[in-house]
Structure 1
Amino acid sequence: MLPWMRPDARPVRRGVQLLVGLVLYAASIAMLVDAGLGSMPWDVLTQGISRHTGLSFGVVTLLTGVLVLACWIPLRQRPGVGTVANVIVISALVDPFLALLDGLPDPIGVRIALAASGIVLNGLATGLYVGARLGPGPRDGLMTGLVRRTGRSVRLVRTTIEVTVVSVGWLLGGTVGFATLAYALAIGPLVHLFLARLTVPVATEELVTV
């Protein structure tokens, strides 16, 4: 049985942790985009598509999330409630967060601080929603599905996916900069740090095997 499908004595904590993590994740996306110093890999693609279609960042986030979920079908990935919530909550909140941040002053020091804070917040948000054990995000599930089906390493598959989406996004006009590189270097250690502290233990005495 998959971790997010196991009966557990902490459903309230897991649900709240998932929701808080997704809200903070949307805020971290908006912080990096608003800073204008380079976005997270998938958000570079979102920016590029948004600029060419005229659709809002949130709408493009929703559409790409649904498309990525469709790619789970041939990979035989099984979504959890957190997977669906990931698509809905983040896409619904990222536009309001972007609008809220539009009023911030624009000097380079503020933009650097905003980007750095966004990266750290994204690590925390990832630790929260992944640690809730209610299902991976669409993009994480795509990666793990490809790893399982191809037999390639996580590092190779994730790097290939992210280089591809960054390249396509950049060609479409998405913002690539030092914050993109800083995110790539920092997010792994940050998520490792937060996951170790935020992962909700599954009550092993309640597990049901199938």
Structure 2
Amino acid sequence: MRTPVPSSPTGLDNLTVGEQLRIDRLPLRLAQMMTGLTGFGLSLALLLESGLGGAPWDVLHAALAAHLHLSVGTVSIALSFVLLLLWIPLRERVGIGTVANSIWVGASLDLGMWLLPEARTLPAALAMMALAVVINGVSAAVYIGAQLGAGPRDGLMTGLGRVLRRPVGPVRIALEVLVLLTGWALGGPLGLGTVVYALGLGPIIQLALPHVTMPVRSVRGREVSAAASVR
């Protein structure tokens, strides 16, 4: 008898790499994933270029980058692989999107820092900050919703949400605040944008995720539960 693919309280399926390679609509999922990852990395750069602070993780990345004389994106990539160790007790599965996230977000962040201009005025800075937070939250939901595996940081969010049976919004806020305090202690770029990002990102992801999640209708070789197929 074939075992149904289990669904989770977050509305996401925790699939193995093998199952992801046999999932329905794989090319479309890959395109959605890369679109989300690109928007995510560029929006992180947009927030930094606003001059109003960085995302909580980038407060930490920027602080480490300054001490190590590396780019923010390079530190982001290196830390991504370190964070994967924290997935072990959460039983979170490394997927196609996990590897892509670990590498491409940092690369697109550095690309954005090179392409995007710094804010010259306060109104421009505020507009860049607001746009960055919205794009980042929607982009995060887009690549998570492709169901090809969460990134290292979002795997902590979805993994804790599943284990604790809590919405991803509050879980994300708690993680962002913890990272923010660590980055601030190391001298990272804390500002208004950091606070807005930390408080606003979780709710944006929570609102956007149901609209961009691509349900798992079939995985070759496995049966999908009826509950999962109608989400």
Aligned partner (choices 196, 201, 216) of residue 202 of structure 1: 216
Query: In the alignment, is the contact (CA less than 8 A) between 1:51 and 1:173 conserved in 2?
Result: no
* Equivalence for 2:10: none
Query: In the alignment, is the contact (CA less than 8 A) between 2:40 and 2:139 conserved in 1?
Result: yes
Aligned partner (choices 26, 42, 45) of residue 30 of structure 1: 45
- Is 2:85 the counterpart of 1:65? no
Distance 1:105 1:148, change over 3 A: closer
TM-superposed deviation, 1:12: 1.2
Aligned partner (choices 190, 193, 198) of residue 184 of structure 1: 198
TM-superposed deviation, 1:124: 1.6
* Equivalence for 2:126: 112
Partner SS, residue 187 of structure 1: helix
Comparing both chains, which one has the higher relative contact order based on Cα–Cα distances under 8 Å and sequence gaps of 6 or more? 1
> For 2:142 and 2:162, how far apart are their aligned partners in 1?
25
> For 1:148 and 1:198, how far apart are their aligned partners in 2?
19
> For 1:204 and 1:152, how far apart are their aligned partners in 2?
25
> Number of residue pairs matched?
208
RMSD of aligned Cα (Å): 2.5
Partner SS, residue 110 of structure 2: helix
Aligned residue type for 2:152: P
Structure 1: stretches of 5+ with no match in the other structure: none
Compare the two structures and name the one with the higher helix fraction: 1
TM-superposed deviation, 1:90: 0.7
> For 1:68 and 1:15, how far apart are their aligned partners in 2?
23
**TM-score normalised by structure 1 residue count:** 0.87
- Is 2:149 the counterpart of 1:130? no
Query: In the alignment, is the contact (CA less than 8 A) between 2:157 and 2:172 conserved in 1?
Result: yes
TM-superposed deviation, 1:207: 7.0
Query: In the alignment, is the contact (CA less than 8 A) between 1:52 and 1:172 conserved in 2?
Result: no
- Is 2:114 the counterpart of 1:99? yes
> For 1:120 and 1:160, how far apart are their aligned partners in 2?
19
Query: In the alignment, is the contact (CA less than 8 A) between 2:170 and 2:202 conserved in 1?
Result: no
> For 1:47 and 1:61, how far apart are their aligned partners in 2?
9
1:154-196 Cα offsets, whole Å, 9 max, x none, are: 6775454332211110111112222222123322332233222
* Equivalence for 2:27: 12
Partner SS, residue 148 of structure 2: coil
**TM-score normalised by structure 2 residue count:** 0.79
Query: In the alignment, is the contact (CA less than 8 A) between 2:32 and 2:142 conserved in 1?
Result: yes
> For 1:205 and 1:137, how far apart are their aligned partners in 2?
21
